[in-house]
Amino acid sequence: VRFSYMRMKYLFISWLVVFIGSWIMYVQYSAYTELCRGHDCRKIIMYLGIWGNLQGVIKCQMEEAAQLDFGTDPEPRKEIILFDKPTRGTTVEKFKEMVYGFFKAKLGEQGNLSELVNIILSFADGNKDGRVSLPEAKSAWALLQLDEFLLMVMLQDKEHTPKLMGFCGDLYVIERVEYTSLYGISLPWIVELLIPSGFRRSMDQWFTPSWPRKAKIAIGLLEFVEDIFHGPYGNFLMCDTSAKNLGYNDKYDLKMVDMRKIVPEMNLKEMIKDRPCESDMDCVYGTDCRTLCDQSKMRCTTEVIQPNLAKACQLLKDYLLRGAPSDIHEELEKQLYLCIALKVSANQMEMEHSLILNNLKTLLWKKISHTTDS
């Protein structure tokens, strides 16, 4: 009788555990699949493929371009709108005027806009026959509506931007980056749900590269911040500086893997100007581009609070300080906290920005320049 009672007890407990576990998995799976339906799914899916003899990532962004509507979900795009320009009969000169006007509205008065137009026309000539056909022009115009594509064209000669390998319609192919996060390991989603967030952060730190390699990756991020800070085509703002948007190759050179939330400063200011608000939380784009709510007018101001460098340093703080050599740990920590404290509104911000950025790069480079990781 005792044996039967104990056996029944364990069977009941086992059944209960299986039932509860199955129910949790079902609920979580249902929630997960809800995120992967319709246009929400198509916004985030990328495809791996072969372009010639090179591995690439095929991207197709299904969301409306430049959708800075702060907190609301974008509607699915309408194909007829995306490919309605230029119309049949449009000359190349007229198309150049269209592109120039688009850049002027999006980037402001920049001295190199004409040069940028020529770069776009060269890229639009996909088959390299010396002329831009109507389908090529329509494809180029559709792609220009995407901030990521536009930024990639602007920065194609920069080390930390993945190379554009080609396009078709509004699909575009970029080089594949081997490691697609600063640190951490990829786990099945159900495992991620079961791991406490604090323990997950610790796991991230366990699976980082060696410190000299982390330093080299960090230098790459600082250089990318330089590339988009008041460059030849204006200032761009990093509005999501999470580790999942950054990657690196087998030589530990940083590569940007997702630039969809890097937007022209002028474009962002125009979108957020006089936006109704009740608190500063209403004046946020992405996760990191924040302005203040003017309580007297109940409208968002246009001045972004933190520069890109401060947000990059916040991301790098724990990444670099863990395992840092003892002889530079104190100075590195000091420079990182000075960097995080940077504000756009501060007096002589640009001078401080340049000084801190150079100090950090020099400090890191001196420590790794004599190693094989450099």
Arithmetic mean of pLDDT over the chain = 82
285-306: pLDDT as tens digits = 989 999 999 999 999 999 999 9
- Of 76-90, 145-159, 205-219, 341-355, give the lowest mean pLDDT range: 76-90
Over residues 113-125, the mean pLDDT reads 90
- Of 66-80, 170-184, 212-226, 294-308, give the lowest mean pLDDT range: 66-80
- Is 356:339 a contact under the CB 8 Å cutoff? yes
Over residues 150-162, the mean pLDDT reads 91
CATH level 3 topology of 211-369: Transferase(Phosphotransferase); domain 1 (1.10.510)
Q: Give the span between the Cα atoms of 149 and 170, in whole angstroms.
A: 10
Burial class (CB in 10 A: 0-12, 13-18, 19+), 249: middle
Query: How many angstroms separate the Cα of 15 from the Cα of each of 28, 29, 123?
Result: 20, 21, 62
- Of 211-225, 273-287, 323-337, give the lowest mean pLDDT range: 273-287
Rg (CA), the chain: 24
| pTM for this prediction | 0.79
% pLDDT > 90, the chain: 45
Packing angle of the helix pair 349-368, 326-340 (nearest 10 deg): 160
Q: Is the pLDDT of residue 38 over 50?
A: no
39-87: pLDDT as tens digits = 444 454 567 777 677 788 888 765 544 443 434 443 444 444 567 789 8
- Is 271:319 a contact under the CB 8 Å cutoff? no
* pLDDT value, residue 78: 42
* pLDDT value, residue 33: 39
* pLDDT value, residue 310: 96
Q: Which residue has the tokens 């115009």?
A: 141
- Angular region, 249: left φ>0, alpha ψ -120 to 50, beta rest: beta
Domain with CATH 1.10.510 in the chain: 211-369
Over residues 338-355, the mean pLDDT reads 89
* pLDDT value, residue 62: 55
* pLDDT value, residue 74: 39
Q: Is the pLDDT of residue 217 over 80?
A: yes
